[in-house]
Amino acid sequence: MQEQPEDEGEFRALDDYLQRLQAGESPDRRALLEKHPDLASALACLEALDRLAPPAGAVTLLQSGDLQMPAGGPPCDFGAYELLAEVGRGGMGVVYKARQKSLDRLVAVKMILSSHLASADHVRRFQAEAKAAARLSHPNIVHIHEVGQFHGQHYFVMEHVEGMSLAQRLAIAPLDVDSAVRILAKVARAVAHLHRHQIVHRDLKPSNILLDSNDEPYVTDFGLAKVFAPGSEMTATGVIAGTPSYMAPEQAAGRGAEIGPACDIYSLGAILYEMLTGRPPFAEENPLDTLMQVLSREPTLPRRLNSRIPRGLELICLKCLAKSPQDRYPSADELADELDRYCRGEALAVKPPNLIQRLWSWTRREPALASRLAALAVFYVVELVNFVLGAVPASFHAQITAITAAWILSSFALQQCLRFQRWSIPARFFWGVLDSAFLLAALLIADGAASPLVVGYPLLIVGSGLWFRVRFVWFMTALSLASYGVLVVEFYYWSPELQRNFDRAPDRHVVFIVAMLVTAAVVAYLVDRVRALSSYFGQRL
């Protein structure tokens, strides 16, 4: 202990804090330090000693997340290392800049949260896999010096990289295209090296790529709880591990048997996407929403977000992000070769998609618009056939054509509004209002409540469920009921001629309205379930 609290009040406060800690309570460390800031360095040293001989049954300090190195405070002893300062915290633990006493060199010590190594089996696997990773030697991979346990605290020691992570670098300023390609090519070569040693990283992301002062990249955080060889136990468990925005679809779906090097190629594509556009391909507020998009949606074309991206580079990025592993680059080395070809201005191996592939990926990028266009196309073709066969008059055909055209044009306009964050919610509601208004207009021209087109209302309710918002489902239900109510009034009072060929009894309308309500209740229930699952996984991921 280098500094003693002189004031007796401070000493008593510290004594009281330590006694409560030993009694298994969780005293408020921050409140203590706010009241007695002079205690900071004394407390840090006591905590280091506490790690040397933790009392049986006491909560370890790292578990409680309380081990904080005071800036400018004295170093803390940690076995063969001296912890100098905390450099960052992530989902798995805390990283410290440290000095290895025997060799007098700087290292980084990562302490793993005990919740990540819950069972003895986890510990055994972690150590075996970290040892395999420690045998690797590559200029762009952070070298692991040691893996071990010190008084119950699991840690590993790695080369210290003086600089910052790619995530921190991107938060300061975007990278230019050439630097992004140069960095990714080196990272891809490093990942190829991991793959040659049967290691799939599975959590490649900007915060796991460190950059030194010359922007030289170093891949880190492989060989941790996530390292495994194909065919090992972890592949079979189907656990979802990783970070949703950078996770390959097969990993997001928990298809353990399919997880392999292609997952890392996908993540490399996601990192390139972020370096080029400033945001990952999919990043929703809720991790489960992000996972759903990873599984079924196509990302916005990078050139839409940054027009300076060359077309060839966009193709390389999208090939890495292909949903099917077979459509990605077959190996990280081939991705690196492609990036080298791109740098030299040579012809690329990736080919632009054909018309059908482009159409298919467009429908996955814009599902709301694509589904409306498909439904309207079917409706219009049926009407056109009727017109050609002489079943409907020309004036009716002209009116339906005008409604369909207006519906399509307004759908295109609203789909553009959805791209802007602040417009997306009003645009979604306005789109719903327009859908039911156009359907009502088409029905008023046709046979109203007696037309088979009324099936459009339950379809609107079911479709509203795809936005995964319970309130929106009920909004569309209310609109559909109001709109159908107008048709019922028309049927009985405004256009009694409609009753000529149809049953006048009101029971058909009652049954239809009840069916709409039941449909809405089922859809709202399902959406509610999905949202509950979503927030559950949101807390876990």
The residues carrying an active-site annotation are: 203
Nearest distance in Å: CB 166, ligand ATP:
9
Which position has the token pair 């997306």? 424
Q: By C-beta, is 208 or 267 nearer to ligand ATP?
A: 208
Q: Is 480 in the site for ligand ATP (CB under 6 A)?
A: no
Q: Is 95 in the site for ligand ATP (CB under 6 A)?
A: yes
Nearest distance in Å: CB 51, ligand ATP:
18
Q: By C-beta, is 32 or 117 nearer to Mg ion?
A: 117
Q: Is 207 in the site for ligand ATP (CB under 6 A)?
A: yes
Contact with ligand ATP (CB under 6 A) among 9, 37, 65, 91: 91
Q: By C-beta, is 165 or 477 nearer to ligand ATP?
A: 165
Judge whether 152 and 59 are in contact, CB under 8 Å: no
Residue nearest to ligand ATP (CB): 90
Q: Is 68 in the site for ligand ATP (CB under 6 A)?
A: no
Contacts of 197 (CB under 8 A, 6+ apart): 132, 135, 136
Among 82-90, 193-201, 289-297, 329-337, the segment contacting ligand ATP (CB under 6 A): 82-90
Q: Is 272 in the site for ligand ATP (CB under 6 A)?
A: no
For residues 267 and 221, give the distance between their C-alpha atoms in angstroms, rounded to a whole number. Answer: 14
Q: By C-beta, is 164 or 194 nearer to ligand ATP?
A: 164
Among 56-64, 83-91, 290-298, 380-388, the segment contacting ligand ATP (CB under 6 A): 83-91
Q: Is 208 in the site for ligand ATP (CB under 6 A)?
A: yes
Q: Is 208 in the site for Mg ion (CB under 5 A)?
A: yes
Torsion of CA 210, 213, 215, 217, to 10 degrees: -30
Q: Is 142 in the site for ligand ATP (CB under 6 A)?
A: yes
Phi, psi angles (nearest 5°) of residue 86 = -80, 130
Among 90-98, 322-330, 430-438, 450-458, the segment contacting Mg ion (CB under 5 A): 90-98
For residues 302 and 309, give the distance between their C-alpha atoms in angstroms, rounded to a whole number. Answer: 7
Q: Which of 18, 5, 87, 7 is nearest to 49 (CA)?
A: 18
Contacts of 2 (CB under 8 A, 6+ apart): 41, 45, 74
Contacts of 307 (CB under 8 A, 6+ apart): none
Q: By C-beta, is 68 or 208 nearer to Mg ion?
A: 208
Among 31-39, 219-227, 319-327, 436-444, the segment contacting Mg ion (CB under 5 A): 219-227
Nearest distance in Å: CB 26, Mg ion:
27
Contact with ligand ATP (CB under 6 A) among 46, 161, 211, 292: 161
Phi, psi angles (nearest 5°) of residue 153 = -95, 115
Cβ count near 401 (within 10 Å): 14
Q: Is 221 in the site for ligand ATP (CB under 6 A)?
A: yes
For residues 512 and 518, give the distance between their C-alpha atoms in angstroms, rounded to a whole number. Answer: 10
Count of all residues that appear for the chain in the document: 541
DSSP string for residues in 45-69: HHHHHHHHSPPTTPPPTTTTT---P
3-class DSSP assignment, residue 201: coil
What is the biggest distance separating any 2 CA atoms in the chain, rounded to whole angstroms?
102
Contacts of 426 (CB under 8 A, 6+ apart): 417
Contacts of 28 (CB under 8 A, 6+ apart): none
Q: By C-beta, is 210 or 288 nearer to ligand ATP?
A: 210
Q: Is 222 in the site for Mg ion (CB under 5 A)?
A: no
Among 1-9, 128-136, 157-165, 229-237, the segment contacting ligand ATP (CB under 6 A): 157-165
Nearest distance in Å: CB 205, Mg ion:
8
Write out the binding residues for ligand ATP, residues 167-196 only, by CB under 6 A. none
Contact with ligand ATP (CB under 6 A) among 90, 174, 278, 538: 90
Phi, psi angles (nearest 5°) of residue 163 = 165, -135
Nearest distance in Å: CB 90, Mg ion:
5
Q: By C-beta, is 208 or 477 nearer to Mg ion?
A: 208
Q: Is 267 in the site for ligand ATP (CB under 6 A)?
A: no
Contact with ligand ATP (CB under 6 A) among 220, 235, 251, 436: 220
Contact with ligand ATP (CB under 6 A) among 41, 68, 140, 165: 165
Nearest distance in Å: CB 327, ligand ATP:
27
Number of residues counted as binding ligand ATP (CB under 6 A)? 21
For residues 478 and 472, give the distance between their C-alpha atoms in angstroms, rounded to a whole number. Answer: 10
Among 46-54, 82-90, 354-362, 507-515, the segment contacting Mg ion (CB under 5 A): 82-90
Q: Which of 31, 65, 66 is nearest to 46 (CA)?
A: 66
Sheet containing strand 105-112, edge to edge, reads 76-78, 81-89, 93-100, 105-112, 153-159, 144-150
Q: Is 158 in the site for ligand ATP (CB under 6 A)?
A: yes
Number of residues counted as binding Mg ion (CB under 5 A)? 3
Nearest distance in Å: CB 207, Mg ion:
5
Judge whether 153 and 111 are in contact, CB under 8 Å: yes
Nearest distance in Å: CB 244, ligand ATP:
12
For residues 393 and 391, give the distance between their C-alpha atoms in angstroms, rounded to a whole number. Answer: 7
Contact with ligand ATP (CB under 6 A) among 40, 43, 84, 87: 87
Nearest distance in Å: CB 276, ligand ATP:
21
Which position has the token pair 């040397």? 52
- Which tokens go with 472? 């929106």
Nearest distance in Å: CB 190, Mg ion:
15
- Which tokens go with 64? 């409680």
Q: Which of 383, 410, 403 is nearest to 394 (CA)?
A: 383
The enclosing H or E element of 215 equals none
Chain CA centroid to CA 355, Å: 29
Give the residues lining the site for Mg ion (CB under 5 A).
90, 208, 221
Q: Report the interface residues with ligand ATP, using CB under 6 A.
A: 87-93, 95, 108, 142, 158-161, 164-165, 207-208, 210, 220-221
